[in-house]
Structure 1
């Protein structure tokens, strides 16, 4: 069974600028997504995301390459590419965050695409998809709590 993409959409009770910062600033990423993050947040910028215990079945490190930075509407990067390779369609997965102000909150959509283009067996693809479906569910719940609390704290 080929899985073309993983898609999640949530409404966060915080302005788009707060959610944008939580998703793009390395210091904030480690509050809800990773255990450590280093990212050069510009198109073509490189980064490393590290998980030791946060919503992971095993410790992991992911090299990323930033694809798009359009504050505060779109941020995307590629990951899951072979060491030393230039990430592109066919050898990496594209993760894209889109942000839209909705009332006083933010509609955030996360899409991981390109899974079916990877040179993986169906079993590898299914395992990756299931791990990431579960991971995004956990991470986006953590992001919602983090961004909402950050917004409430700044309003006081």
Structure 2
């Protein structure tokens, strides 16, 4: 049975407002999450993340609650629009902790994918490990 959720908690030595900006503003996101980012920061707004090696992933903003919660649906595979059967939900939850920020990332919905469920879990588990390490390095530099 495929797990439905990938989760990671990361302590970041940066104020919550800086972490929020790094998650939601194009100019910051493209510094740690691929080479391209376009975010229309409102529920229903479009998102595009681009990687030279993987193509462009399209998404739709689900929730925006500054500076504590941001979520979006995104499609798998690249270059497709999110729809039932090809999308997962990514949720960022931020809380202040020890003068910095605790960031929790939960990606869910893998069990609803119509194909490639196991590969998606594996890819995104490794992907979030790498990308969130890059986010922490970016913010703590």
- Where do 4+ consecutive residues of structure 1 move more than 6 Å? none
Q: Is there any run of 5+ residues in structure 2 with no aligned partner, and where?
A: none
> Cα RMSD over matched residues?
1.6
TM value normalised by structure 1: 0.83
Q: Which structure's CA Rg is the greater one? A: 1
Higher strand share: 2
Tell me how far 1:81 sits from its aligned partner: 5.9
Partner secondary structure for residue 106 of structure 2: strand
Partner secondary structure for residue 138 of structure 1: helix
Partner secondary structure for residue 31 of structure 1: helix
Partner secondary structure for residue 72 of structure 2: strand
TM value normalised by structure 2: 0.92
| Residues matched between the structures, number | 139
Q: Does 1:139 align with 2:131?
A: yes
Residues 81 and 125 from structure 1, CA distance in 2 versus in 1: closer, same or farther, beyond 3 angstroms? closer
Distance 1:81 1:126 in 2: 13
Pairwise mapping of residues 5-154 of structure 1 onto structure 2 (< 5 A)? 5-52=5-52, 58-80=53-75, 83=80, 87=83, 90-120=85-115, 124-149=116-141
**Is the deviation greater in 74-83 or in 62-71?**
74-83
